[in-house]
């Protein structure tokens, strides 16, 4: 990473006051930008049909160089809730450091760790999540969390000096993030609480992703790029729904907002590699257009 020493990188990831950490994260993102100055990455959930090593191989094949790592590619599957809790609390942090190294050797930068804090998380699990994120070397976390959990998460985010982006879904119901008000209430809790804006879900819930991005870009740590129809429409190939993908990417490009735009492939397609490449090509083409 040209222009940042190893010591400075560790300072970015591991410490500093909240404001300085945010400024350094902007610097990192600015130096990792892709086409037209916008970092196009992928949520590894897009490769949910394969284990982590195969997912990384798929990212390399497609030509991706940035990733938001989904917890489902890290945690054990098919275990009880208590077994999962034990795994989170007892797995050596070296396990996550090795994952970080594997991505680095593949030429892929991890821009976030997606660990969805839910009501059944103990305080120890929440705190451990930030330790995992540090070992992975990511600057931020994202979470499909319960809104009532935000104050607890904020306490540990402030201790770790790491921002957490709350992820929105389209179902407007208690206990989930969906509306602009849901998200702005979370932002008011702490400067370390941020937003992971899913523009597809936001559109499906009949909200304006462009307006929210303009108003809160300084508190958005990552975007999920997908296409859906309004009125709870299904996920569809990019360009076939109502999500303003082109306009969002142009806004990032033209305003020089260093927010990673992570593709999340969620529609029914024939082949994951083919479809993720199709999504990536769409984004690159959009950024080249006026």
Residue spans per domain, the chain = 6-288
Instruction: Compute the distance between CA of residue 139 and CA of residue 200 in angstroms, rounded to an integer.
Output: 24
| For residues 193-218, average pLDDT | 98
Q: What is the mean pLDDT of the chain?
A: 91
What's the predicted TM-score (pTM) here?
Answer: 0.88
Residue 199 has pLDDT above 70, yes or no: yes
pLDDT, residue 22, reads 44
pLDDT, residue 165, reads 98
pLDDT, residue 35, reads 62
> 225-235 pLDDT, tens per residue?
999 999 999 99
pLDDT, residue 213, reads 98
Residues above pLDDT 90, as percent of the chain: 87
| For residues 164-181, average pLDDT | 96
| For residues 27-37, average pLDDT | 55
Nearest Cα residue to 167 out of 189, 188, 148, 141: 141
Residue 14 has pLDDT above 70, yes or no: no
pLDDT, residue 16, reads 39
pLDDT, residue 33, reads 58
Nearest Cα residue to 73 out of 38, 108, 40, 39: 108
Instruction: Compute the distance between CA of residue 7 and CA of residue 190 in angstroms, rounded to an integer.
Output: 28
pLDDT, residue 34, reads 61
Residue 134 has pLDDT above 70, yes or no: yes
| For residues 267-272, average pLDDT | 94
Residues above pLDDT 70, as percent of the chain: 88
| For residues 206-223, average pLDDT | 98
Residue 7 has pLDDT above 90, yes or no: no
Domain 6-288: homologous superfamily in CATH: Divalent-metal-dependent TIM barrel enzymes (3.20.20.150)
> 83-111 pLDDT, tens per residue?
999 999 999 999 999 999 999 999 999 99
Instruction: Compute the distance between CA of residue 228 and CA of residue 260 in angstroms, rounded to an integer.
Output: 20
Sequence-distant (6+) residues with CB within 8 A of 282 are: 238, 239, 245
> 40-80 pLDDT, tens per residue?
999 999 999 999 999 999 999 999 999 999 999 999 999 99
Decide if 252 contacts 261 (C-beta within 8 A): yes
Nearest Cα residue to 108 out of 47, 151, 196: 47
Instruction: Compute the distance between CA of residue 194 and CA of residue 139 in angstroms, rounded to an integer.
Output: 13
Residues in the chain: 290
């Amino acid at each position: 990473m040209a222009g940042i020493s190893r010591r400075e990188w560790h300072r970015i990831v591991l410490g500093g006051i909240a404001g300085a950490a945010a400024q350094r994260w902007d610097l990192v993102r600015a130096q990792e930008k892709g086409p037209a100055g916008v970092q196009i990455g992928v949520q590894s959930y897009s490769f949910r049909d394969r284990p982590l090593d195969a997912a990384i191989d798929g990212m390399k094949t497609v030509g991706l160089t940035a990733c938001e790592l989904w917890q489902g590619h890290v945690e054990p599957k098919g275990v009880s809730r208590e077994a999962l809790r034990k795994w989170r609390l007892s797995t050596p942090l070296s396990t996550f450091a090795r994952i970080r190294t594997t991505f680095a050797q593949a030429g892929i930068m991890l821009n976030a760790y997606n660990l969805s804090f839910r009501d059944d998380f103990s305080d120890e699990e929440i705190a451990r999540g930030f330790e995992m994120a540090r070992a992975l070397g990511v600057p931020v976390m994202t979470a499909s969390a319960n809104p009532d959990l935000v104050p607890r998460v904020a306490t540990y985010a402030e201790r770790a000096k790491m921002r957490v982006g709350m992820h929105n879904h389209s179902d407007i119901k208690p206990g989930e993030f969906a509306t602009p008000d849901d998200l702005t209430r979370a932002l008011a809790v702490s400067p370390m609480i941020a937003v992971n804006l899913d523009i597809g879900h936001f559109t499906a819930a009949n909200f304006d992703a462009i307006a929210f991005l303009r108003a809160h870009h300084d508190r958005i740590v990552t975007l999920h790029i997908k296409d859906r129809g309004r009125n709870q429409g299904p996920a569809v190939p990019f360009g076939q729904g109502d999500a303003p993908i082109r306009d969002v990417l142009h806004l990032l490009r033209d305003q020089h907002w260093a927010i990673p735009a992570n593709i999340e492939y969620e529609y029914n397609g024939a082949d994951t590699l083919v479809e993720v490449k199709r999504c990536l090509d769409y984004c690159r083409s959009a950024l080249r257009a006026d």
